[in-house]
Copies of this chain bind each other. A is one copy, B any other.
Amino acid sequence: MKYFVPRRVLPWRRSFSHSSSRRVIKSLSELPARINPKYTETRQNDLLCLQWPSPPRNVLLTKKNNTPEITESLIEYAQHIHSTYPSMNLMLEPHAAEEVHSKLDFPVYTTSTPTLHDAPTPTILSDKTDLVSTLGGDGTVLHASSLFAHTPCVPPILSFGMGTLGFLGEWKFKEYKRAFREVYMSGAHDAYASIDQKDQSEITDSEDANTTPTYASIRGKSMGAARPARILLRNRLRISVFSPSGDRLNSSDPAAGDTYALNEVIVHRGSSPHLKIIDVFVGGRFLTEAVADGMIISSPTGSTAYSLSSGGSIVHPLVSSLLLTPICPRSLSFRPLVLPANTPITLRLSEKNRGREVEVSVDGVRISKGVGVGMEVRVLGEDIRDRRSGEWCGGVPSIVRGVVGMEEKEEDHWVGGLNALLKFNYPFGEEA
């Protein structure tokens, strides 16, 4: 039996009893190398088209924790992927792998550390993941993105809102079949490519995980026309945090380098009841001394998150910019700023703070140690286009939901989100 090869069983899976040889957890290292898609411009020039050179093989599924309904949905989704796209390998985070593998009759892949998040930078993830798919809210998308927080090149993310739609989770779960198919086929040259799930089922087992299927090989399967998936390439922030003594604090691994954030980095008084004094430098020059609860440096994507709550403007994700938004500033005249994405911004905890610590958080996750007076947060926007080649890379490639049969109105995702989710300019009044 191919799946139950003892050496493949991860050492930390001690307590695991596998009644069926298929319900196993395997190591990511066994997976074939990642396939990098291309992104091509559309005539409208704001969304990009996803183009796989060959069909994706490794999909990482992440989900919100502690929510049984979502775990159920994950299982349903995984089974659909396995049965319809038998050449796909399913990757899960360790916690989820343990939780669901026994309910799946095919192997799942995971890392050998208990949680990816605590792990030393999981470069293996970025070496293997072709595609990410999330089930949860915005927090789950932020978490998925954080798994690639030290990687310049994030795989495309297909996100499903569960229960409540979020700003980042574009799709409704009930659309998962159409959505996955659209992504899987995206960019296949043969518009008549199709998959026949029945015919293929017997050859699945004999397929090696390392085989590269081609769109040609799946020709004839009843997939219908392949419309390319639309990608919104969300700029990230490139963040480094330094302790007063110059140690890098933004990662537990000192060699990890800068951290990429999807929403924002925040410096905040946290549990200290007192105002904080933060020196703000823009483009290397002193801009101002902020006396406030804290400061936010946000991406346009993050403009609808914490920055919005603090009075920031809403910035479209395609405006290449950084937002500087104060949190409860002790000033009548500290208006939020929108700066060019390539402007370096530094926040420095002023000596005037008399040694009190602050809270620094990236996308809602706190960096908790060594953050004292003299500490610096340095931020730069991310270049998502190679200057020389003109190729699109970087950012978080978010697969945007199109409306079937409304091709011409397909760009509604952001405007739709403003209206439906944020209740933007929600009308006054009530019927008598």
Q: Smallest Cβ distance from A135 to chain B, in angstroms?
A: 11
Given the complex, which residues of B lie within 8 Å of A161, measured CB to CB? 432
In the complex with contacts A428-B330, A432-B162, A338-B321 CB distance below 8 A? yes
> Does A333 count as interface, using CB distance less than 8 angstroms?
yes
A137-189 with Cβ < 8 A to chain B: 160-166, 172-173
A347-369 with Cβ < 8 A to chain B: 359, 361, 364-366
Given the complex, which residues of B lie within 8 Å of A270, measured CB to CB? 270-271
Given the complex, which residues of B lie within 8 Å of A405, measured CB to CB? none
Question: What's the number of copies of this chain in the assembled complex?
Answer: 4
Q: Which of B164, B303, B359 is in CB contact (< 8 Å) with A431?
A: B164
Q: In the bound complex, how far is the Cα of B291 from the Cα of A314, in angstroms?
A: 19
Contact B359 A273 (CB under 8 A): yes
Q: In the bound complex, how far is the Cα of B329 from the Cα of A422, in angstroms?
A: 12
> Does A75 count as interface, using CB distance less than 8 angstroms?
no
Q: Smallest Cβ distance from A155 to chain B, in angstroms?
A: 23
Q: In the bound complex, how far is the Cα of B321 from the Cα of A293, in angstroms?
A: 25
Given the complex, which residues of B lie within 8 Å of A311, measured CB to CB? 311
Identity of the chain B residue whose Cβ is nearest the Cβ of A429 in the assembled complex: B164
Total residues of chain A contacting the partner, CB 8 A: 83
Given the complex, which residues of B lie within 8 Å of A428, measured CB to CB? 291, 330-331, 421-423
Q: In the bound complex, how far is the Cα of B429 from the Cα of A338, in angstroms?
A: 22
Given the complex, which residues of B lie within 8 Å of A172, measured CB to CB? 432
Given the complex, which residues of B lie within 8 Å of A308, measured CB to CB? 330, 332, 335
Q: In the bound complex, how far is the Cα of B331 from the Cα of A408, in angstroms?
A: 30
Given the complex, which residues of B lie within 8 Å of A327, measured CB to CB? 293, 328
- Complex interface: stretch among A203-211, A371-379, A412-420: A412-420
Q: Smallest Cβ distance from A259 to chain B, in angstroms?
A: 16
In the complex, 6 of the A-B residue pairs with CB atoms within 8 angstroms, ordered by the A residue number, are A287-B415, A289-B425, A313-B313, A316-B340, A331-B426, A338-B338
Given A316-B338, A319-B340, 11 more A-B residue pairs with CB atoms under 8 Å apart are A163-B431, A165-B431, A271-B271, A283-B415, A287-B418, A293-B327, A308-B335, A313-B336, A314-B336, A331-B333, A333-B422
